């Protein structure tokens, strides 16, 4: 402990020679900006990972709940074979426009995954909202990524190590 300067100061690795009230103020400040930080910095930093997980799951022909997209019709299988595309599962990928427009954003503390492609609503109507989202395994992976980003944010705002 350091008794100099008239204030009660902890001299520890964690608090870096700051008063308890200063540490409390910094933590409160970090907490007050948390929603903003998540929406405007953390999710955007994790967006590429979220989009990649989304596209990989669709490419595998799997919905969020783990069930499979339906099989292609024989007619569609012939077209897919001619294009050199998979026929053993539905991927919802033909030209790539739908995949290329996939995005992730935060809305009321919920991560929304969708596509800006004009076919998005039609595909959701046909195959359900389960075409978008993260599996439980994906959520664990994203939690690991975002936890590190949150820790960095708190350390940066508070000065804690």
The DSSP bridge partners found for residue 113 are 104
Please identify which residue in the block is written with the tokens 């195959």: 127
Query: Confidence band (pLDDT; 50, 70, 90) for 1?
Result: very low
Closest-CA residue to 97 (of 81, 79, 119) = 119
Domain ranges of the chain: 1-32, 33-158
- Per residue in 109-152, pLDDT tens? 788 999 999 999 999 999 999 999 999 999 999 999 999 999 99
Q: Are 46 and 149 in contact (CB under 8 A)?
A: yes
Distance (Å, whole) CA 113 – CA 124: 12
Mean pLDDT, residues 23-37: 89
CA 143, 146, 148, 152 dihedral sign is negative
Q: What is the pLDDT of residue 53?
A: 96
Sequence-ordered list of residues with C-beta below 8 angstroms from that of 94, at least 6 positions apart, any chain: 83, 85
- Per residue in 50-92, pLDDT tens? 999 999 999 999 999 999 999 999 999 999 999 999 999 999 9
- First-last CA distance in the chain: 18
Per-residue pLDDT at 10 exceeds 80: no
Q: What is the pLDDT of residue 14?
A: 55
Mean pLDDT, residues 35-55: 91
Q: DSSP readout, 57-77?
A: HHHTTB-TTSPBPPPPPHHHH
Query: Confidence band (pLDDT; 50, 70, 90) for 2?
Result: very low
Cα 54 to the center of its chain, rounded Å: 10
Cβ neighbourhood burial of 154 (10 Å; 0-12, 13-18, 19+) = middle
């Amino acid at each position: 402990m350091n008794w100099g300067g008239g204030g009660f100061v902890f001299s520890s690795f964690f608090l870096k020679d700051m008063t308890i009230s200063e540490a409390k103020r910094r933590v409160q400040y970090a907490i007050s900006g948390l929603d903003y930080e998540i929406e405007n910095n953390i999710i955007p930093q994790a967006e590429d990972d979220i989009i990649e997980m989304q596209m990989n799951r669709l490419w595998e022909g799997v919905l969020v709940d783990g069930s499979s997209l339906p099989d292609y019709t024989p007619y569609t299988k012939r077209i897919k074979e001619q294009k050199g595309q998979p026929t053993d599962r539905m991927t919802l990928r033909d030209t790539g426009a739908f995949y290329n427009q996939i995005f992730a954003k935060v809305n009321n503390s919920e991560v929304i995954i969708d596509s800006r492609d004009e076919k998005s609503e039609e595909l959701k109507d046909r195959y359900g909202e389960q075409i978008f989202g993260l599996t439980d395994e994906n959520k664990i992976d994203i939690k690991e990524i975002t936890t590190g980003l949150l820790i960095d944010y708190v350390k940066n705002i508070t000065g804690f190590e």
